[in-house]
Amino acid sequence: MFKKQKVKIDPNMTDTLIGEGTQFEGKIRSAAGIRIEGQLTGDIECTGDVTIGENGVARSNIRARNVILAGHVTGNVTATGNLTIKASGNLNGNLTAQELSIESGGVFQGSSKMDYQRESTADEAKALAAAAKETELLTASDDSNSMLKTW
């Protein structure tokens, strides 16, 4: 009679807000986006995006898909996608990101590591193998003609 419908969480939506004037201490794990306008002490693990607003202060290590930093963060930040430090943003700590953008006036104090991991799909691997095999066949069949045919 009462069936619980499973709700899909969209990582592109912000569903957690720590508002201005709020102080939070502890670890946050979220499948959707997080926005911090208040103060947070503790780690953040998020499969969505994390935004630290202009009035936001976080003393934490942050791991998320994309991070937008307009406030102050003390700790390490790992973004599997983009890390953007706005003009009002301040990051004191190390960062790892696939893409990094720092606006004029933004502050970054620490070391950075650009983490580019291109995932090879099965289709790309098959296409490369087929091209290599075709090249082998063309060069083997035209030994009299030492010219390599390409398409």
Q: Report H helices in the chain.
A: 122-141
Q: Which of 13-17, 113-117, 132-136 has the lowest mean pLDDT?
A: 132-136
| 3 state DSSP class of 32 | coil
What is the pLDDT of the chain when averaged over all its residues?
Answer: 80
Sheet holding 90-92, edge to edge: 23-25, 39-41, 57-59, 72-74, 90-92, 107-109
Q: Which of 1-5, 34-38, 75-79, 138-142 has the lowest mean pLDDT?
A: 138-142
In angstroms, what CA-CA distances link 74 with 62, 95, 97, 115, 127?
A: 10, 11, 16, 21, 46
